[in-house]
Amino acid sequence: MSQNIPQRKTDIGPPDYKQFLPPVIKKNYGQWAYHENPKPGVLMHVAKSGDRLYSVRAATPRLVSIETIRLFADIADEFTGGYLRWTSRNNVEFLLTDETKIDPLIERLHKEGYPVGGTGPAITNIVHTQGWIHCHSAASDASGVVKSVMDELYEYFVAMKLPAKLRIAYACCLNMCGAVHCSDIAILGIHRRAPQIDHTQVRSVCEVPSTVAACPTGAVRPTTVNGHESVEVIEEQCMFCANCYTVCPAMKLNDPEQDGLSIWVGGKVSNARSEPKFSKLAIPYIPNNPPRWPEAVNAVKNIVEVYAAGARKYERMGEWIERIGWPKFFELTGIEFTKYHIDDFTHAGESYKRSAHLRQVKE
Ligand code: SF4
Ligand code: SF4
């Protein structure tokens, strides 16, 4: 900022993050030389000055209570001078420079019931959305499914024994507040029928123009029912996204019988070794089965284990699938290939593989 312009005073937005950085990060900002994974859950960043920053990563329950946040703050005060951060996948990282405090810190976290891990070639905590606890348009629960999956995959969180990082994401509808479009494995809640319109309610709780405008596929049209303004849905155009339900509560989309989960694979954000990839459909539908969702848990575990057994070192899920070929992926995982795997979106043809060279390796 120019010296002549007075600093703007505002209460909008969060405070400047720089004031909260640990002194070692402030001192070496932008001057880091390399980093290593000394052991599961511990990262060591080394600055050009020789300074070292250790991050100890623990899984949080994702939806956390005030008591849990206070506990993490107390642990940070005790071991790291109060410095901690939350990662984008809902881990908590304690930031410290005193190497001798790492093991006592890990011991304390274990004593409080929090596993340490998720770094390097491991599964990190699952990023997830709001689910039944909060969002109106959820097709499934978020924290319940994720807790059930993570309980089963615990061994891959606390050890670095996978070929590469494995990122799992969860979103409870296809509006995808979670990063399901670009994760190695994604669990996505899906609705499977068009909204049911309560025409007696539309006039009192909805605004017809904004409801029509909310539909990304143009499936919602204004109409008149019994002499009153209302809306109709062209079902063939509906992709069950719930955008209309968000602005018009009289267009209920949730259905306890039809809603469920789908599983997607092969996405990644990183551009290391190969370009970033979108996740692709693996399993089109798994019914909701609370409280432990055994079908979804088994499906994810199966994909993780087949990948762990077959991928080369450093190979992400999508890279492994592209090397062996999608037919081989379906064969090895035992997942059925169905008509739902064929993209029938209007512009899908532009993304189709048009070459006759379909790669399939023999293993
Ligand atoms: S993913 Fe969909 S249902 Fe889940 S919190 Fe986001 S908008 Fe709501
Ligand atoms: S669910 Fe989505 S696609 Fe279907 S009518 Fe509503 S806004 Fe349109």
Task: Judge if the beta carbon of residue 180 lies within 6 A of ligand 1.
Answer: no
d(C-alpha 190, C-alpha 344), whole Å: 17
Tokens coding 346: 């209007």
Which atom number of ligand 2 is nearest to the Cα of residue 241?
2
Query: Shortest CA distance to 358 belongs to which of 315, 336, 328?
Result: 328
Provide the 10 A C-beta neighbour count for residue 4.
Answer: 5
Per-residue pLDDT at 23: 97
Query: Shortest CA distance to 52 belongs to which of 6, 122, 99?
Result: 99
Which atom number of ligand 2 is nearest to the Cα of residue 251?
6
Q: How much distance in Å is there from the Cα of 7 to the middle of ligand 2?
A: 46
Per-residue DSSP letters for 118-139?
A: --SSSB-PPB---GGGT-TT-S
Cα 231 from chain centroid (whole Å): 34
Strands, sheet with 168-171, edge to edge from the N-terminal-most edge strand: 168-171, 185-190, 260-265, 280-287
Query: Shortest CA distance to 156 belongs to which of 304, 51, 45, 287?
Result: 304
d(C-alpha 62, C-alpha 318), whole Å: 26
Tokens coding 69: 């946040």
Decide the pairing of beta strands 185-190 and 168-171. Answer: parallel
Task: Judge if the beta carbon of residue 177 lies within 6 A of ligand 1.
Answer: yes
Task: Judge if the beta carbon of residue 135 lies within 6 A of ligand 1.
Answer: yes
Q: Is the peptide bond before 291 cis (omega within 30 degrees of 0)?
A: yes
Tokens coding 109: 């976290």
d(C-alpha 320, C-alpha 178), whole Å: 23
Tokens coding 76: 């940070």
Per-residue pLDDT at 223: 96
Q: Identify the helix (H) or strand (E) that includes residue 53.
A: strand 52-59
Per-residue pLDDT at 359: 62
Q: Whose CA is nearest to atom 6 of ligand 2?
A: 244
Q: What residues contact 190, with CB distance under 8 A and at least 6 apart?
A: 139, 173, 174, 240, 259, 260, 261, 262, 285
Q: Whose CA is nearest to atom 2 of ligand 2?
A: 241
Cα-based distances in Å from 73 to 76, 94, 241: 5, 10, 39
Task: Judge if the beta carbon of residue 239 lies within 6 A of ligand 2.
Answer: yes
Measured CA angle at 287 (ends 246, 331), to 5 deg? 120
Per-residue pLDDT of the chain (363 residues; tens, 9 = 90+): 556 777 766 677 788 889 999 999 999 999 999 999 999 999 999 999 999 999 999 999 988 999 999 999 999 999 999 999 999 899 999 999 999 999 999 999 999 999 999 999 999 999 999 999 988 889 999 999 999 999 999 999 999 999 999 999 999 998 877 778 899 999 999 999 999 999 999 999 999 999 999 999 999 999 999 999 999 999 999 999 999 999 999 999 999 999 999 999 999 999 999 999 999 999 999 999 999 999 999 999 999 999 999 999 999 999 999 999 999 999 999 999 999 998 887 788 887 777 777 665 655
Cα 118 from chain centroid (whole Å): 14
d(C-alpha 184, C-alpha 48), whole Å: 33
- 3-class DSSP state for residue 56? strand
- The identity of residue 291, as a single letter, is P
Cα 168 from chain centroid (whole Å): 6
